[in-house]
Amino acid sequence: MAKPRPRLEKLTLDKDLDKFSLAEEASHHVMRRLAAPGLAALFLILSMGFAASYFTGASGAAVVVAAAAVAGYMAMNIGANDVTNNVGAAVGAKAISMPVALGIAAVFEIAGALIAGRKVTLTIEAGIIDGTQLVGAEGLVWVMLSALISSAIWINIATYSRAPVSTTHSLIGGIIGAGVAAAGLSSVKWWAIAGITASWTISPVLGGVIAALFLAFLKEFVIYRDDKISAARRWMPVVLGVTAGSFTAYVAVFAIDHLAFVPLPTGLSIGGLAGIACYIVSKPWIHRQSEGLENRNQSLRKLFRLPLIFSAALLSFAHGANDVSNAIGPLSAIVSAVDGVISSADSEAPFWVLLIGALGISVGLLLYGPLLIRVVGEEITRLNPMRAFCVALATAVTVLLASALGLPISSTHTAVGAVFGVGFFREWYTRHSQRRLEYVRRKTGQTEFMEKGETNFAEVRRRRLVRRSHFLTIVAAWVITVPVSALLSAFLYLVLSGLFL
């Protein structure tokens, strides 16, 4: 009797094919894990190539090339950590997908850094410590390099730990620590630090207040109207027009001031025209989009998706303008110091330095940004497109204003402050708004809405607890960032200066 060899051979072949498939799948998994570090390393090599090609100094080229690599590493960490401030609200509200959000952020981050990033760069470069008190220009080189390395390492650790820390805090703490290690407490410009610290305190409060005001306007004039669609058709073009006008005026007056001088009245006029044009264009679009929609909040959420995308793009521009300084300010100071010049308030960052910062932020957010997007977008509080629009727009307005004034505020503080501002306002509005109480009474028949232990009240209470627990965690991260960066930077300065000075 013949043995069923063909069947055995087939089983053996199937097993071999299964093993091959598993090996191939494991290989693809490993390649995917190595793709991001490989691309990041490629960008660092390109950064060093930029420095080697464009730096024209007679000496110190090796230091500048090394500093360019560290600045590129810092820029990627900024993109990976701070991307949550740009598109987290939009993704959390499910208005746009992750790939679209990252693409929008990347484009506008680069635009903001290259067009409007120079003013804040000057504050980071020359406004923290007094370079003349250091041991010559060479001492300033090692101070700035230590600050870059320490802050980049801390942000990398925070990103891996899913903690949205302030990159601005990290860098300024690093500069202070290395400056004190190099020349003592007198080297730090404490009055300037006091002003910057005040801006850190003001920014989350201001972001929260502005976000609450936007949400109050929408609730009073759109959400709790009997005819929501008609109210949206009337007021949404106004909101979009004001947003576009403010952004255009900022760009005309502040963002391109190094290219052309535009007087404030002229800039405001240009912004007014842009706002009117946006109002005219958006009004028929909103009317078309609202046709056939039911008179309920879910319909309003659909209408707010495009404005939310617009505000996310505006916020990305603002973030690029403000936070690019955290990567290129020290690099610009190093480039000047290698040439024997101590940076001053009149110094200007070279274009190739700005380019490293802009591209690095975009590379970082594209490769590692999704890790923290859900922390701000989903885990702090529940966001829908209307609330997310208020958060993004309030954050953008606050950061743009600070960038125009040359204040390196924390976009993380501002964004999180806006999220909490929306949440706290909702709690207050739920209990005190007569318009909401009357609206709910007509719809549900309840006469004492939210006054008893009903399901709605329990849900609100649950959200409050979530917000406050995240609030404590975030504040703890904010508090520890500056001293950790300062201590690490001081240690690195002592090591580097001992080896090379």
Does residue 374 contact residue 88 with C-beta atoms inside 8 Å? yes
Once rounded to an integer, what is the mean pLDDT over residues 88-114? Answer: 80
| Nearest CA-CA partner of 85 in 330, 393, 338, 299 | 393
Q: Which ranges constitute the DSSP H helices of 369-454? A: 370-374, 385-405, 411-432, 434-444
- Phi then psi for residue 129, to 5 deg, are -125, 160
Q: Please, which residues have CB within 8 angstroms of residue 96's CB and are 6 or more apart in sequence?
A: 87, 90, 104, 305, 308, 309, 312
On whether residue 468 sits in a domain, the answer given is yes
Tell me the C-alpha distance between 393 and 213, whole Å.
11
On whether residue 435 sits in a domain, the answer given is yes
On whether residue 239 sits in a domain, the answer given is no
The domain of 344 spans 58-209+317-382+406-442+462-498
On whether residue 360 sits in a domain, the answer given is yes
On whether residue 233 sits in a domain, the answer given is no
For the stretch 177-233, pLDDT in tens is 988 888 888 878 887 777 767 767 778 888 889 899 988 898 888 888 888 889 989
Instruction: State the maximum Cα–Cα separation within the chain, in Å, rounded to a whole number.
Output: 102
Beta-bridge partners for 338: none
Q: Which residue has the tokens 């080189």?
A: 141
Tell me the C-alpha distance between 410 and 408, whole Å.
7
For the stretch 129-138, pLDDT in tens is 766 666 566 7
- Phi then psi for residue 188, to 5 deg, are -85, 135
On whether residue 297 sits in a domain, the answer given is no
pLDDT for residue 418? 86
On whether residue 199 sits in a domain, the answer given is yes
pLDDT for residue 68? 92
Our count of domains for the chain comes to 1
On whether residue 302 sits in a domain, the answer given is no
Q: Is the pTM of this model over 0.85?
A: no
pLDDT band at 266 (very low <50, low <70, confident <90, very high): confident
